[in-house]
Amino acid sequence: MKKFLVFLSFLLLSLSVIAAENYSERFISSFSACEPYTERSRIQSGGEQVALTKLVQGVMDHKCIYKQVIMRPTVRDITTCAFTKPMLEEISDAMKNETGETFNVDFDTGKGVVRLNGVTKSQIIWTQYLNAEAVCKREIIPR
């Protein structure tokens, strides 16, 4: 039970980072083409200053490799994804066509349901893929 609560607290912080993140035109362009690109930002999440690094690493085995590193004071949360072309297109289209409209949704993490408030369509799509074990692998490393 304790492991589940620790996992859920890290997941909630990760989801809040995703929900607070905006995407630059350069990131969207590089991601859409799966061209290597790194973007760094700092955002406020859960009362903490969090460093976020997004890395589009390029194509490997016909999939776009993407890595996201969230640095918190106590942990480094690394998610590495391998997106197929249709997945890449779905995420890219959502980012390019973002209207700014926000939604409140219940998101099933596979280990419990989390309520996400004020998230955009592209953030919902990102969250679905980042938490799909068949697409993305997650590693949490204590600092």
Handedness of CA 11, 96, 86, 67 (dihedral sign): negative
DSSP-derived secondary structure letter, 110: S
CB 48 within 8 A of CB 33: no
What integer pLDDT is reported at residue 14 of this predicted model? Answer: 52
CB 19 within 8 A of CB 116: yes
Tokens standing for 23?
């995407």
What integer pLDDT is reported at residue 95 of this predicted model? Answer: 92
pLDDT at residue 87 greater than cutoff 60: yes
pLDDT at residue 12 greater than cutoff 50: no
Q: Model confidence over 16-33: pLDDT tens digits?
A: 455 445 788 999 999 999
Tell me the whole-structure pTM to 2 decimals: 0.80
Tokens standing for 72?
């918190």
Work out the angle at residue 22's Cα, subtended by the Cα atoms of residues 9 and 86, and round it to the nearest 5 degrees: 90
Work out the angle at residue 128's Cα, subtended by the Cα atoms of residues 125 and 133, and round it to the nearest 5 degrees: 145
What integer pLDDT is reported at residue 6 of this predicted model? Answer: 40
What integer pLDDT is reported at residue 46 of this predicted model? Answer: 72
- Rounded to an integer, the average pLDDT of 41-64 is 90
- Rounded to an integer, the average pLDDT of 70-78 is 91
